[in-house]
Amino acid sequence: MSEIQRDSYRAQPGGWRNRLVSLHEQLQQQAGIGLGTPWQGDPVPAPSWVAYNASLARELGWPADWRQLQHEGVSALDVWSGNAVWPGMKPIATVYSGHQFGVWAGQLGDGRALLLGEMDTAAGLQEFQLKGAGRTPYSRMGDGRAVLRSSIREYLCSEAMHGLGIPTTRALTLTASPLPVRREVMETAAVVTRVAPSFLRFGHFEHFAYCGEAGATQALQALVDFVVEHHYPELKDEADRPMALLRTVIERTAELIAAWQSVGFCHGVMNTDNMSILGLTIDYGPFGFLDGFDPEHICNHSDSNGRYSWNNQPQVAYWNLRALANALVPLMPEVKRDPAPVLEALQQFETAFPRAMTARWRTKLGLLTEEVDDGRLAIDLLRLMAQHRVDFTIAFRRLCEFRSDVAAADPLNAPIRDLFLDRDAFDQWAGRYAQRLHREGSVDAERCDRMQAVNPLYVLRNHMAETAIRRAQSGDFSEVRRLEALLQQPCQAQPGAEADAGFPPTWAQSIEVSCSS
């Protein structure tokens, strides 16, 4: 390992920096308003590694011994558990606001997250953020901590989503401490390091639109410019940057939600403060993957009205985009006179989402060409799956091996057909599917390969996370690490993982996941 590679990781010139902190300092000087509060983590006792993402570290171009490196007496473990910083890191807790469950919640902010800094990596410029590193000025009633249970869920699911090819913040490290943390019961603390090009959320923009402080509009404009210049450079020369940004975020969000829907992912807390301005999946809390298909499935035990159920996710995304649009209006003086352009921009979601969704269903069904009725074909399958509560992941995976050259009722099609109680209804649908495949000259074996590359065998079902959590709570982290490796390649059959590809056990139904984390 060369010293140059080491240096780029652990610090110094060209190493750690924080452009958001620079913007914060500039705004404070020029407009008397900041983006948050420079802050240090509150150390935890006796931190230890639970998991560390070697494949992400490789993508970042970091040396193989990145976890062993010391710098000025500060170890990597100290840094990634929030107990110390390396030179160049300028941690900040940022301020944001947001709508929670459809209601304006006012100021929120990084109540337990700290942006340590950013670094130029082999995967581009990335921000590194700790979650659970202690109280900040935005903690409100919270303790600033995250428990091992929820941190394992976040760590595993962000890597599972990445494995599925879905835009997401990543997880680099997971460290634990014996520090007791009170939730419904006493648990222990953990810190996750998350990595993303930016952790800015819709809520950051809402904050400066509504906080009413002097200089807030200037900060809002500066934030838009920052995001455009650093993350959407293709929009730099647009005359109306806020509008251009809005339109692009609408497209990205439509793509993201279509991706979620296509794997049966339910986010669980789609509040505007949990919506990324880059269209990434962020803030893994009470998420869930569908088992038996129920479109109204609510994964968050605290969401009694089902606002964030699976089939509401596209609507909620649209609602959240409207909140973002409203927040950008102060920067669009002409919109105050005539709201038409912003309404028109929002309407873009009504075409962008179905377009993205239909494209996803087509890919899942192995279709290469486009026919107008493809969306209907997919929806009719989903309707049938819903009627029979057919397992979402297993159904699409078994459909890969559907044989269009024999009758639907042929024993060769039994694995998929037998998932449906009403065999006649399945046969009718399968007949239409087979005709559709024949019309495009589809070759079963080739289609099977295509479909198996997008229809996962393994998703992070609640019971899998639960098993890893229970073992970890008794000091055995092997299941966390096994699942991490498994979910990094969710479409490839892996020896010894048959049970992970199977139906969830009955006890899975008793798992309740709430906002408590």
Among the listed residues 20, 89, 108, 328, the single contact to ligand AMP using CB under 6 A: 108
Which residue's Cβ lies closest to Mg ion? Answer: 283
Q: Which residue, 267 or 447, has its beta carbon nearer to Mg ion? A: 267
Q: Where are the beta strands (DSSP E) in 44-169?
A: 48-52, 70-71, 74-75, 92-94, 97-100, 103-107, 113-121, 124-131, 146-147
Site for ligand AMP in 320-359 (CB under 6 A): none
For the chain, the C-alpha Rg in angstroms (whole number) is 24
End-to-end CA distance of the chain: 39
Q: Which residue, 197 or 354, has its beta carbon nearer to Mg ion? A: 197
CA gap 178, 48 in Å, rounded: 9
CB of 101 to ligand AMP, least distance (A): 10
Among the listed residues 142, 178, 306, 505, the single contact to ligand AMP using CB under 6 A: 142
CA gap 290, 296 in Å, rounded: 10
Residue 77 makes CB contacts below 8 A (sequence gap 6+) with: 47, 48, 49, 67, 175
Contact (Cβ atoms closer than 8 angstroms) between residue 451 and residue 433:
no
Q: Which residue, 24 or 436, has its beta carbon nearer to ligand AMP? A: 24
Among the listed residues 81, 136, 261, 274, the single contact to Mg ion using CB under 5 A: 274
CB of 111 to Mg ion, least distance (A): 9
Site for ligand AMP in 273-292 (CB under 6 A): 273-274, 283, 285
Among the listed residues 38, 111, 165, 354, the single contact to ligand AMP using CB under 6 A: 111
Binding segment toward ligand AMP, per CB under 6 A, in 108-116, 205-213, 371-379, 506-514: 108-116
Tell me which residue of 163, 177, 408, 149 sits closest to 286, measured CA to CA: 149
Tell me which residue of 391, 188, 370 sits closest to 289, measured CA to CA: 391
If phi > 0 it is left, if psi is from -120 to 50 it is alpha, else beta; for residue 317 that is alpha
Q: Does 91 bind ligand AMP (CB under 6 A)?
A: no
Q: Does 139 bind ligand AMP (CB under 6 A)?
A: yes
Q: Which amino acid is at 338?
A: D
Q: Does 112 bind ligand AMP (CB under 6 A)?
A: yes
Catalytic residue among 78, 110, 273, 291: 273
Q: Which residue, 283 or 391, has its beta carbon nearer to Mg ion? A: 283
Q: Does 144 bind ligand AMP (CB under 6 A)?
A: yes
Partner whose binding site includes residue 143, from Mg ion, ligand AMP, none (CB under 5 to 8 Å by kind): ligand AMP
Q: Which residue, 158 or 274, has its beta carbon nearer to ligand AMP? A: 274
Binding segment toward ligand AMP, per CB under 6 A, in 104-112, 296-304, 403-411, 483-491: 104-112
- Spell out the alpha helix ranges (H) of 277-339: 313-328, 333-337
CA gap 291, 76 in Å, rounded: 39
CB of 358 to ligand AMP, least distance (A): 31
H or E element in which residue 431 lies: helix 423-439
Partner whose binding site includes residue 142, from Mg ion, ligand AMP, none (CB under 5 to 8 Å by kind): ligand AMP
Query: How many other C-beta atoms are found inside a 10 Å radius of the C-beta of residue 56?
Result: 22
Among the listed residues 25, 59, 120, 143, the single contact to ligand AMP using CB under 6 A: 143
In three-state secondary structure terms, 186 is strand
Partner whose binding site includes residue 145, from Mg ion, ligand AMP, none (CB under 5 to 8 Å by kind): ligand AMP
Q: Does 206 bind Mg ion (CB under 5 A)?
A: no
Distances in whole angstroms, Cα of residue 470 to Cα of each of 19, 187, 292, 448? 40, 12, 24, 37
Is 338 annotated in the active site? no
Distances in whole angstroms, Cα of residue 377 to Cα of each of 155, 267, 438? 36, 26, 14
Q: Does 179 bind ligand AMP (CB under 6 A)?
A: no
Phi, psi for 64 (deg, rounded to 5) = -60, -30
Catalytic residues: 273
Residues that bind Mg ion (CB under 5 A): 274, 283
Residues that bind ligand AMP (CB under 6 A): 108-112, 138-139, 142-145, 269, 273-274, 283, 285, 515
